[in-house]
Every structure is written in structure tokens, then in C-alpha cells.
Amino acid sequence: MALYDQEAQTRLKEKMDYEQWFLDFLSKKQETLEGKQEITQITFKNRQPSANVHFAISDVFGSGAALEVINAMKPLTFVASYKILDMVFEWILQENHDAGTIKCVPWRFSEKIKVFSKSQIDFPPILQSQPYIKEYLFALYSKLLKFRNEVVHKNNFSVLGDKLKIETIEDGNSYVLELDPKELWAFVKIIIAVANLIIGDSAFDPQIERLLKYRLDRLSKIHGLAEFKQPMPIPINVLLEVPVENNLFPADLKIVRKELSRTFPTVDILFNLKIIGLVNDKPTVGWFFPFDSIPECDVLELRQDSHNNYRVSLEEK
């Protein structure tokens, strides 16, 4: 059995299943309830360098009662996020134990941290290829432990307005953790993203890296490591109309990327892509690719029956 093989990834995925669902559900509800602003749509005609840019701003605001519930659940959200973080590190220790690298997997959180600090550990491929993720994750794991224990064992926390505040005393010293909504949800989304990378549910790419670094910067006061100075990526919806050519819809992604870079030269762009296939200038078929699923190729040649996982009705998205 190889380290971190498919079977090992499945075991971790099954362990994290409920917490991942819970955090993903809450983070999506939070975005809707607390409101968001984004450029709604940029429309391209295939292989034409001009675009129709709509700078309409969409605002969504939830009810006060719903936001109150989300705020009340912040201690649980924090603990669930830390639990996934612990599951990941415990899984890494278990893999190393099974391979004979370490003698045992401790039960106590503090002992697990000591093993990582004192032992030569083999890490999953994504943490080997991107060692900064391992470094920042471990800093969060070790520095947030005392606050996790305070919530779980002593219920010593408060939610003041939209901020979660946790106070604790360790070795005679007082410590306070105060997380505003952006910081808490940055923590949640970092954990979800890294967990998905480790179990193979998503692939590491420049867009995911920019989001990770941006969110890690939001938590610099916690991990205490250097900031990446990563600007906030701007989410954009791109509509690409592609006329049929020889029974194919050849979507020119190279021109789309080039034009986005030209239109927004000083900011990072994360774009979702909807492709509309035109036959005799009439919309006939549609595909929707989220920003982290857009193929890397210059020209994506689509048939009416291809990429069925991304097919959508012409009214969707």
C-alpha cells in the first residue's frame, strides 16, 4: 500500500464528510445573507477581441434573523473547521505510522503537534509540492489549539455583533482571539480548499493559489507568518457565444483570457465561463464551467454531446 493512495484519500474523505458539508453549506449561506458585490457579466463573441462588459453590481442582503442565526453558530463553525484541520494532520500521522515512519499516533492534540515538530514526516504530494501550504496550515493548527479547547471544554467565548471572541490563559499568560466575519470565513474556506486538494476533489491551479494566499493574508495576525500581499481576486461571469463550425463549437479560450487581462490589467480575475453554442445565430446548447474547472487549452472544441457534466439549459446560470 502506497502512502496517500486512493484508498487513503477515501478514508479521509469519509471522516471529514459531515464537517465538510456543514462548512460548505454555511459558507454559501453566509455569502448570500451578508451580501456580495461582483461584476455580473462580460459577453464575448468567439474569436472577436471586443467584449460587451456589463458593470452592473449585484447586492444580496439577507434577513436580520437569518444573520443572527449564522452569528450564533460561529463558535461551532470555528470548532468544525479546526476539527477538519485536526483530521488532516491526524491522517498524515496515521499514514506515516502505517509506513513505519513514526511509532504511534498520539490522541492528545498537543502531542500530535509535538510529533510534527520533532519527527521527519512524509507529507501528501500537494503539501510537498507547495510547502508553504503545509507551513501556514501547521501554524494555524498549533496556534489555534488553545482557543479550540476553550470553546469545547469551557464554553468560554462570546459573539459580540458579528465578531467571535475567545479568551484563554496559558502558562500564566492571557490570550484573546477575535475573528470578524471576513477572518472566520477565510479560515473556513482555507480548510475546505486544502481538504479538497488533499483528497483529490480539486486540482491545484493558479486561481486556487491566489484565493488561498489572499485568505491566508486575512489570518496573518493568527499564523504570524509573512503576508503574500495577494490582492483580492475579482469574480466575473463570462458569457462566450460560439457559432458552430463543421459540427463543432470551437471556444477560443486564449482570446478570452487575453481580453480579460487587457480589460483588467491591475487585478486578479477569477471567471466562471458559460458557453452558448449558436446554430444559424440561434442559441442551441450551453455549458457552464466554474472558475476552477475551466480547461487550460487555448481552444476547447465542443460537440453537442461532449462535456455532459457541464451541460446546462440555456436558461441556467
Percent of the chain with pLDDT over 70: 88
Q: What is the pLDDT of residues 61-115, one digit of tens each?
A: 444 555 666 777 899 999 999 999 999 999 999 999 999 999 999 999 999 999 9
How far is it, in rounded angstroms, from Cα 22 to Cα 119? 33
**pLDDT greater at residue 262 or residue 220:** 220
For residue 256, the SS3 value is helix
Q: How many residues does the chain have?
A: 317
Q: What is the pLDDT of residues 296-313, one digit of tens each?
A: 899 999 999 999 999 998
Closest CA relative to residue 271, chosen from 236, 233, 316, 232: 236
For the ranges 19-28, 44-53, 268-277, the maximum mean pLDDT occurs at 268-277
- pLDDT for position 50: 63
CB 91 within 8 A of CB 15: yes
pLDDT band, very low/low/confident/very high, at 166 (cuts 50, 70, 90): very high
Return the C-alpha cell found at 155: 464554553
Mean pLDDT of the chain: 87
Q: What is the rounded average pLDDT of the residues 174-185? A: 94
Q: What is the rounded average pLDDT of the residues 12-25? A: 89
- pLDDT for position 260: 87
Choice among 47-51, 121-125, 241-245, 248-252 with the minimum mean pLDDT: 47-51
How far is it, in rounded angstroms, from Cα 246 to Cα 253? 19
Model pTM above 0.85: no
pLDDT band, very low/low/confident/very high, at 52 (cuts 50, 70, 90): low
Closest CA relative to residue 306, chosen from 290, 291, 286: 286
